């Protein structure tokens, strides 16, 4: 459960999908002059170096953000955040979702991040120190239950486990139902991988039955290298902010231009 390290995958096509829509949602939520809470259950280290040997070896960033960034509109919130991160940390820096959120939020907003991996959490604490983030050495689902309903009550939660524990697929619908009962105004964002064996399908069927008004958006793409199992990315969004369906559709069309796109 503690072995996953995102540096091998940072900036891949799944990150582009997840982060572009996350930035768009936070951009919309911060337009209203009311404070909000951001909660993340599996935060990672927050800041990655795409020139690191781990990132270069897999080639996932080159196939991901390296291919897709120039296809996004120049004023897209995701591109604005990427530019801010490079200006602060250097040209090879890449932000994880905690840093993207911190740069999107305002001084009166709250940010809560859970991360169990000791080394990842130490790096996260360093990256997030300027932003007064609340970093927890706690299981993400336990932290989410303890924090909800948060103050401020407006807000967004990103649920982004590694799925190394296969039982997550069966447990997530129960977790999300419980979270929604406690925090029915919160935007709950679940990321999940698309793999050849499609273990996500029963989970998504259960979530669709529980949340018929939610947004479910998936993109497919070719494996980053021979034998790599990730063939797509999915987001399930309860209480999606206004305009995100159109944003997701536009992003899906961009993914359709990726060489070798699987359709």
Quote the pTM value.
0.95
Residues 152, 97: Cα–Cα separation, whole Å: 20
- Predicted confidence at residue 9, as pLDDT, reads 84
Reading the block at residue 25, the tokens are 């949602």
Under DSSP, is residue 172 helix (H, G, I), strand (E, B) or coil? Answer: helix
Q: What is the pLDDT of residues 98-117, one digit of tens each?
A: 999 999 999 999 999 999 99
Per-residue pLDDT band at 4 (split at 50, 70, 90): low
Q: What is the pLDDT of residues 73-84, one digit of tens each?
A: 999 999 999 999
Under DSSP, is residue 214 helix (H, G, I), strand (E, B) or coil? Answer: coil
Residues 130, 125: Cα–Cα separation, whole Å: 9
15 catalytic, yes or no?
Answer: no
Cis peptide before 152 (omega within 30 of 0): yes
**Cβ burial, residue 222 (10 Å; 0-12/13-18/19+):** middle
Per-residue pLDDT band at 195 (split at 50, 70, 90): very high
Q: Are 76 and 109 in contact (CB under 8 A)?
A: no
Q: What is the pLDDT of residues 207-263, one digit of tens each?
A: 999 999 999 999 999 887 776 689 999 999 999 999 999 999 999 999 987 765 544
Q: What is the pLDDT of residues 134-143, one digit of tens each?
A: 999 999 999 9
DSSP code per residue over 6-36: GGGTTTSHHHHHHHHHHHHHHHHHTTSSS--
- Predicted confidence at residue 227, as pLDDT, reads 64
- 1 pLDDT more than 50: no
Of 15, 27, 109, 160, the active-site residue reads 160
- 3 pLDDT more than 60: no
Region label for 79, one of left (φ > 0), alpha (ψ between -120 and 50) or beta (otherwise): alpha
Q: What is the pLDDT of residues 13-69, one digit of tens each?
A: 999 999 999 999 999 999 999 999 999 999 999 999 999 988 888 889 998 999 999
Reading the block at residue 152, the tokens are 């401020």
- 192 pLDDT more than 90: yes
Cis peptide before 56 (omega within 30 of 0): no
């Amino acid at each position: 459960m503690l072995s996953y390290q995102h540096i091998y995958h940072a900036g891949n096509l799944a990150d582009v999908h997840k982060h572009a829509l996350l930035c768009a949602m936070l951009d919309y939520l911060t337009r209203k002059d009311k404070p909000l809470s951001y909660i993340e259950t599996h935060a990672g280290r927050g800041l990655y170096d795409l020139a690191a040997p781990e990132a270069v070896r897999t080639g996932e960033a080159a196939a991901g953000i390296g291919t897709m960034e120039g296809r996004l509109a120049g004023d897209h919130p995701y591109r604005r955040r990427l530019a801010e991160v490079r200006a602060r940390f250097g040209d090879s820096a890449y932000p994880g979702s905690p840093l993207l959120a911190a740069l999107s939020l305002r001084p009166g907003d709250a940010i809560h991040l859970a991360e169990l991996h000791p080394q990842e959490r130490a790096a996260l604490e360093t990256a997030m120190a300027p932003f007064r983030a609340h970093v927890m050495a706690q299981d993400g689902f336990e932290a989410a239950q303890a924090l909800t309903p948060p103050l401020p009550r407006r807000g967004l939660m990103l649920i982004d486990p590694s799925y190394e524990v296969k039982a997550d697929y069966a447990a997530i619908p129960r977790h999300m139902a419980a979270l929604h009962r406690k925090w029915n105004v919160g935007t709950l964002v679940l990321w999940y991988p698309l793999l050849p064996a499609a273990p996500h399908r029963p989970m998504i069927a259960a979530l669709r039955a529980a949340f018929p008004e939610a947004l479910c958006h998936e993109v497919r793409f070719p494996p980053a290298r021979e034998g790599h199992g990730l063939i797509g990315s999915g987001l399930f969004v309860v209480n999606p902010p206004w305009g995100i369906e159109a944003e997701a559709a536009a992003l899906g069309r961009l993914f359709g231009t990726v060489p070798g796109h699987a359709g």
